[in-house]
Amino acid sequence: MQSIENNLGGGEGIEGLYGSITRTGTQKILASMVEHCGLGSESSLVDVGAGLGRPLLHALVYPGVKATLGVELDEIKVQKARVFLKQSVQRVQRKGLLPEDLELPMMQCAAIEEVASLERCTHAYSFWEGVPIPAREAFGKLVARSDGVQGVAVIQRAMRDPEGAMLSLGFGQLSLRASFPVSMSGSGRSFTAYVFAREAPALRRAADSAVQGGLAAMRQTKPGAAAARAADKLGKPDRESRSARRALIMSADKTYTQQAADALNQAQHVAAETWEATKNKVSEVTGAAQNRAEETKNDATSHQSGVRGLVDDAKNKATELGNRASEKTTEAKHSAQESTNKAANIADEKARQ
């Protein structure tokens, strides 16, 4: 790359300071953005004050971002950047480190104050040494207004209160995730890289609506509604959706679509889990009720058979007594007949005498 830059007569232009952070430093900054604010293969990175576009080229190779935009005020640098990027990309492509159909970084020749929006950008980088305060404020306003920017890295001399300084430049609330020393290529001058994460509103909205969509879809089915009611009682969906949302916002290295799909999956997963838990509970309760019913039935059956035994006993006893009574009646009849016969014989005897 250095030989290409040398052939162009160096990176200088007619405006501002020129210089880049060393390759090692740039790698460290990008890795920190990957780790702390989701820079990745679906990201689009803007470099405010892009110079020849070195950091953008680096980001295309590592971590292999999807799109890059350079905003550079100095038209000489922009002209040089277009040649530098084209030749450098071709060289890297020949080594097989970049795909053939790669989109070159787009270089916009403008002061950042003239840029209307950063709407398509997910991450922003600026080695803004020598960039005046009003330009930094214009950058801050663009980030604050953007729906998509979720990570910002700035390189400058060490500052005392980085979040406060960014707030006063109009960036809104950023959260400092890392800061470390880096040095300038060539001169070796020392600077500090600050990596901030930002909860992008679009991301938050996409995650919220996906979670709500998932929960609504779940509630539309009868069992889902029952499961939701059961889970509502435990406060589960709320807890789950909040943590799902937090996880989504933290894992901001994916596209919104991917995140929305993830959120939906997650919500569906919660629904499925809740439904599964409710189903298990229902089958547990039903099982217990069935066992209880079975036990009661068995109790009743044994009770019934006990009663039936008693009735049978009573019946047998009654039959026995009946039999005995009829035996006694027969006996009495016989003895009465005998007595009658005896009396008749005696009477006949008396009459004959």
Q: Does 50 bind ligand SAM (CB under 6 A)?
A: yes
Q: Does 148 bind ligand SAM (CB under 6 A)?
A: no
Cα–Cα distance, 164 to 152 (Å, whole number): 14
Q: Could you tell me how many helices (H) and strands (E) the chain has, helices first?
A: 10, 7
Stretch of 71-79, 294-302, 328-336, 341-349 lying at the interface with ligand SAM (CB under 6 A): 71-79
Q: Does 71 bind ligand SAM (CB under 6 A)?
A: yes
Stretch of 15-23, 57-65, 162-170, 256-264 lying at the interface with ligand SAM (CB under 6 A): 15-23
Residues 273-312 that bind ligand SAM (CB under 6 A): none
Residue from 46, 73, 85, 195 touching ligand SAM (CB under 6 A): that is 73
Burial track 82-108 (b if 16+ CB lie within 10 A, e otherwise): bebbebbbeebeeeeebeeeeebbbbb
Per the document, the length of the chain is 353
Residues 101-130 that bind ligand SAM (CB under 6 A): 111-113, 127, 129-130
Dihedral of CA atoms 203, 206, 211, 217 in degrees, nearest 10, equals -170
Q: Which is nearer to ligand SAM, 75 or 331 (CB)?
A: 75
Instruction: Examine residue 132 and say whether the peptide bond preceding it is cis (omega within 30 degrees of 0).
Output: no
Residues 208-227 that bind ligand SAM (CB under 6 A): none
Cα–Cα distance, 155 to 153 (Å, whole number): 7
Q: Closest approach of Cβ 127 to ligand SAM, in Å?
A: 4
The first and second tokens of residue 274, run together, are 């809740």
Q: Closest approach of Cβ 268 to ligand SAM, in Å?
A: 43
Positions that interact with ligand SAM (CB under 6 A): 15-21, 47, 49-51, 54-55, 71-74, 77, 111-113, 127, 129-131, 135
